[in-house]
Amino acid sequence: MGIGAEIEEKLRAAFSPGLLEVVDDSEAHRGHSGFQEGGESHWNVRIASERFAGMSRLARHRAVHAAIGPDIIARIHALALDISES
Q: HEC string of the chain?
A: CCHHHHHHHHHHHHHCCCEEEEEECHHHHCCCCCCCCCCCCEEEEEEECHHHCCCCHHHHHHHHHHHHCHHHHHHCCEEEEEEECC
- What pLDDT is attached to residue 59? 98
Does this model's pTM top 0.85?
Answer: yes
Residue 16, pLDDT above cutoff 70: yes
For 43-74, how does the pLDDT look when each residue is reduced to its tens digit (9 = 90+)? Answer: 999 999 999 999 999 999 999 999 999 999 99
Confidence of residue 15 (pLDDT cuts 50, 70, 90): very high
Pick the CATH number of 3-30+39-84 from 3.30.300.90, 3.90.870.10, 3.40.50.970, 3.90.1150.10: 3.30.300.90
More confident residue, 41 or 55: 55
Q: Identify which of 36, 53, 41, 34 has the alpha carbon closest to the alpha carbon of residue 79.
A: 41
